[in-house]
């Protein structure tokens, strides 16, 4: 028998380790020989711990398995009676939730033991690297440009152009920096890649190194991801031992090394220049631009800074072709986006879909509506700085430009759902409070403005909506948006303004807004 029990942080927090141990002990007690694989999660989190069993019909699943279910699960296995078990959900690949997705970046996630390099290779791992080793740097970059890949960390900047700038900037040393400081609320796609398919990130960073002539890469990992740290470090060691990193990658004579660096929990270090400061051992403060990091980044050298999912998409593009990737998605937002569904939603998890899919499809078809069963009131997309959208706007497609048009951001693809019990005043206040706490302090509009924002909202909450105070709040948001040095202060007004605009009736606001 071959049984799979996930080993990523979310599954473990739901009891996957205890279930795996119990399966092992129970099998030993009964004298059953079985192979227990600790795979990565498929991202169907509402079914975790999801135990899968290899059968002739493929991998079949048992949902939300707890310790007490283990004996009966083994009974079903031995009695060849899986289908009658109350937790049986059939072949996992046939689940609508998975079948409706287009998994390109996440093609392997959940299928294999993350630290088995042989399994990685069996599932098309390192084919892209092998191909890239025979390509000219310009050709690698052209393939990325053809794919239309844009940064999945938040800004949506074209990846190929960033890489081209680094390639064309002359320097003895260049660096690849992976931004793994995934700090947005409701996001976990980077974590899943690192914990469930770490060799993918290693392969991707090595390809980036070949594309721009860098021999060294750094992964800047947030300290809140201890398991990702463990898995990544082990994967780096294995890749070195097996010749996929180091001085002679796959016998090509080319070299690339990766070092893991753990941050200290500052949200602003997800901003690329603050990240570079922190990586250099300094306090994480935003650098003014120009110069951009692609010209003068880590220790003043040309540096690619890309987030985990952006990089993890590169091997698929190199292997299958940029045009193929660009055939998914919309006109300006090409390919797929791994969306993370969370908050008050029935079926939370990772959903990789082509751009153009609507929020409504994601929240109802995939998410199944709210967990509480109450009506959806608001949806926040793009992390703590993202806009709040009402039910009536759920037909908006997942697309960078479409979100810009409604005063929002796609950010890192996190979608948090709220039902009609949400306190929108509190959510507005939270946006300002978050900014005040996480501000790096470099510029006044953000450092002082966010604190004043909290105070004005407190007054509005206490004294009721008052035209003068609302105008003050609007003016403050306008100043923050247009004069802050980086996106933290510049986008913190988005949640506030979107709530004022989209939910004015709920808040009892009669006044026409100026911005
Ligand atoms: Fe720092 Fe805020 Fe200014 Fe960004 S906007 S540089 S976080 S003070």
Name all residues whose Cβ lies below 6 A of ligand 1: 268, 286, 439-443, 446-447, 484-486, 488-489
For residue 356, what pLDDT is reported? 97
For residue 342, report the distance from its CA to the centre of ligand 1, in Å: 28
- Which among 182, 180, 58, 32 is positioned nearest to 111, based on CA atoms? 58
Question: Could you give the count of Cα atoms lying within 13 Å of 164 in the half-sphere of its Cβ?
Answer: 13
φ, ψ (nearest 5 deg) of residue 57:
-90, 10
> Residue of the nearest CA to atom 1 in ligand 1?
440
Among 275, 436, 488, name the best residue to mutate to test ligand 1's pocket (greatest count of ligand atoms within 8 A of Cβ).
488
Q: Residue 227, Cβ neighbours under 10 Å: how many?
A: 15
φ, ψ (nearest 5 deg) of residue 213:
85, 35
39: DSSP letter: P
DSSP result, 74-96: HHHHHTT-GGGSTTEEEEGGG-H
Task: Give the contacts of 297 (CB within 8 A, at least 6 positions apart).
Answer: 175, 177, 276, 303, 304, 305
- Which among 156, 187, 204 is positioned nearest to 43, based on CA atoms? 187
For residue 400, report the distance from its CA to the centre of ligand 1, in Å: 23
- Which atom of ligand 1 is found nearest the CA of 442? 8
φ, ψ (nearest 5 deg) of residue 334:
-90, 150
For residue 208, what pLDDT is reported? 98
Residue 207: band (very low, low, confident or very high) from pLDDT cuts 50, 70, 90: very high
Contact yes or no for 129/117 (Cβ under 8 A): no
The sheet carrying 88-91 orders its strands as 35-37, 2-4, 51-55, 58-62, 88-91
For residue 408, report the distance from its CA to the centre of ligand 1, in Å: 19
DSSP result, 23-36: HHHHHHHHT---EE
Tokens of 107: 């093609």
Among 385, 447, 448, 450, name the best residue to mutate to test ligand 1's pocket (greatest count of ligand atoms within 8 A of Cβ).
447
For residue 484, report the distance from its CA to the centre of ligand 1, in Å: 6
- Which atom of ligand 1 is found nearest the CA of 268? 7
Among 269, 484, 492, name the best residue to mutate to test ligand 1's pocket (greatest count of ligand atoms within 8 A of Cβ).
484
For range 82-98, the mean pLDDT: 96
Cis check: omega of the bond before 133, within 30 degrees of 0 = no
> Residue of the nearest CA to atom 5 in ligand 1?
489
The correct answer on CATH 3.50.50.60 for the domain covering 336-419 is no
- Which atom of ligand 1 is found nearest the CA of 438? 7
Q: Which CATH class is domain 424-507?
A: mainly alpha
> Residue of the nearest CA to atom 4 in ligand 1?
486
- Which among 412, 513, 414 is positioned nearest to 471, based on CA atoms? 513
Residue 510 has pLDDT above 80, yes or no: no
Residue 193 has pLDDT above 90, yes or no: yes
For residue 398, report the distance from its CA to the centre of ligand 1, in Å: 28
Domain positions in the chain: 2-99, 117-326, 336-419, 424-507
Q: What percentage of the chain exceeds 70 in pLDDT?
A: 100
Tokens of 273: 């220049």
Q: Which CATH class is domain 2-99?
A: alpha beta
Question: Could you give the count of Cα atoms lying within 13 Å of 476 in the half-sphere of its Cβ?
Answer: 23
For residue 508, what pLDDT is reported? 84
Among 154, 266, 268, 275, name the best residue to mutate to test ligand 1's pocket (greatest count of ligand atoms within 8 A of Cβ).
268
- Which atom of ligand 1 is found nearest the CA of 447? 8
ipTM of the complex in this document: 0.99
Contacts 24+ apart (CB under 8 A), 281-284: 284/440
**Cα 246 from Cα 223, distance rounded (Å):** 26
Residue 511 has pLDDT above 80, yes or no: no
Tokens of 482: 């247009």
For residue 464, what pLDDT is reported? 79
φ, ψ (nearest 5 deg) of residue 378:
-145, 155
Contact yes or no for 255/249 (Cβ under 8 A): yes
pLDDT tens digits along 415-457: 999 999 999 999 999 999 999 999 999 999 999 999 999 999 9
Residue 515 has pLDDT above 80, yes or no: no
- According to DSSP, the β-strands at 58-62 and 88-91 are antiparallel
Q: Residue 391, Cβ neighbours under 10 Å: how many?
A: 15
27-41, 90-104, 196-210, 394-408, range with the lowest pLDDT? 394-408
Residue 466 has pLDDT above 80, yes or no: no
Residue 359 has pLDDT above 80, yes or no: yes
For residue 155, what pLDDT is reported? 80
- Which atom of ligand 1 is found nearest the CA of 446? 2
Instruction: For the domain made up of 117-326, give the CATH fold.
Output: Rossmann fold (3.40.50)
- Which atom of ligand 1 is found nearest the CA of 484? 5
Residue 318 has pLDDT above 90, yes or no: yes
Among 443, 479, 483, 494, name the best residue to mutate to test ligand 1's pocket (greatest count of ligand atoms within 8 A of Cβ).
443
Task: Give the contacts of 157 (CB within 8 A, at least 6 positions apart).
Answer: 150, 151
Percentage helix, strand, coil for the chain under 3-state DSSP, each rounded to 5:
50, 15, 35
Residue 360 has pLDDT above 80, yes or no: yes
**Cα 332 from Cα 501, distance rounded (Å):** 27
- Which atom of ligand 1 is found nearest the CA of 490? 5
pLDDT tens digits along 281-312: 999 999 999 999 999 999 999 999 999 999 99
Exposure string over 468-478, b if 16+ CB within 10 A, otherwise e: eebebbbebbe
For residue 446, report the distance from its CA to the centre of ligand 1, in Å: 6
For residue 441, report the distance from its CA to the centre of ligand 1, in Å: 6
For residue 407, what pLDDT is reported? 84
Mean pLDDT taken over the chain: 96
**Cα 208 from Cα 178, distance rounded (Å):** 10
């Amino acid at each position: 028998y071959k049984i799979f029990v996930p080993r990523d942080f979310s599954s473990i927090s739901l009891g996957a380790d205890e279930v795996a141990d119990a399966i092992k002990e129970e099998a030993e007690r009964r004298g059953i020989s079985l192979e227990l694989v600790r795979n990565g999660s498929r991202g169907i989190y509402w079914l975790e711990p999801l135990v899968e069993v290899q059968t002739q019909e493929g991998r079949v699943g048992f949902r939300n398995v707890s310790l007490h279910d283990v004996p009966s699960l083994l009974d079903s296995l031995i009695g060849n009676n899986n289908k009658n078990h109350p937790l049986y959900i059939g072949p996992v690949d046939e689940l609508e939730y998975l079948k409706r997705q287009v998994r390109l970046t996440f093609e392997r996630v959940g299928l294999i033991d993350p630290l088995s390099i042989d399994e990685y290779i069996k599932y098309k791992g390192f084919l892209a690297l092998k191909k890239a080793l025979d390509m000219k740097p310009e050709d690698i970059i052209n393939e990325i440009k053809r794919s239309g890949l844009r940064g999945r960390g938040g800004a949506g900047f074209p990846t190929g152009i960033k890489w081209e700038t680094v390639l064309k900037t002359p320097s003895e040393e260049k660096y690849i920096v992976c931004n793994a400081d995934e700090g947005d609320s409701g996001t976990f796609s980077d974590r899943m890649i690192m914990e469930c398919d770490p060799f993918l990130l290693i392969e991707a960073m090595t390809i980036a190194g070949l594309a721009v002539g860098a021999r060294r890469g750094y992964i800047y990992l947030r300290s809140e991801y201890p398991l990702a740290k463990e898995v990544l470090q082990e994967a780096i060691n294995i890749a070195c031992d097996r010749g996929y990193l180091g001085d002679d990658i796959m016998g090509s004579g080319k070299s690339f090394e990766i070092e893991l660096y753990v941050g200290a929990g500052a949200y602003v270090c997800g901003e690329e220049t603050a990240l570079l400061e922190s990586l250099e051992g300094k306090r994480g403060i935003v650098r003014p631009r120009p110069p951009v990091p692609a010209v003068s980044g880590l220790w003043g050298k040309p540096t690619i800074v890309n987030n985990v999912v952006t990089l993890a998409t590169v091997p698929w593009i190199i292997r299958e072709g940029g045009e193929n990737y660009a055939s998914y998605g919309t006109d300006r937002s090409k390919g797929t986006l791994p969306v993370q569904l969370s908050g008050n939603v029935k079926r939370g998890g990772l959903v990789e879909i082509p751009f153009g899919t609507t929020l409504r499809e994601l929240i109802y078809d995939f998410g199944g509506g709210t967990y509480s069963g109450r009506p959806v009131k608001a949806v926040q997309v793009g992390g703590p700085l993202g806009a709040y959208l009402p039910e009536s706007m759920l037909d908006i497609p997942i697309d960078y430009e479409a979100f810009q048009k409604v005063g929002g951001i796609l950010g890192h693809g996190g979608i948090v759902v709220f039902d009609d019990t949400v306190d929108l005043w509190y959510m507005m206040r939270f946006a300002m409070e978050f900014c005040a706490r996480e501000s790096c302090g470099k510029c006044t509009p953000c450092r002082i403005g966010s604190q004043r924002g909290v105070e004005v909202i407190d007054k509005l909450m206490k004294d009721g909506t008052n035209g003068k105070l609302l105008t003050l709040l609007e003016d403050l948001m306008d100043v923050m948006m247009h004069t802050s040095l980086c996106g933290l202060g510049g986008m913190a007004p988005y949640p506030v303004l979107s709530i004022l605009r989209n939910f004015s009736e709920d808040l009892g606001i009669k006044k026409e807004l100026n911005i």
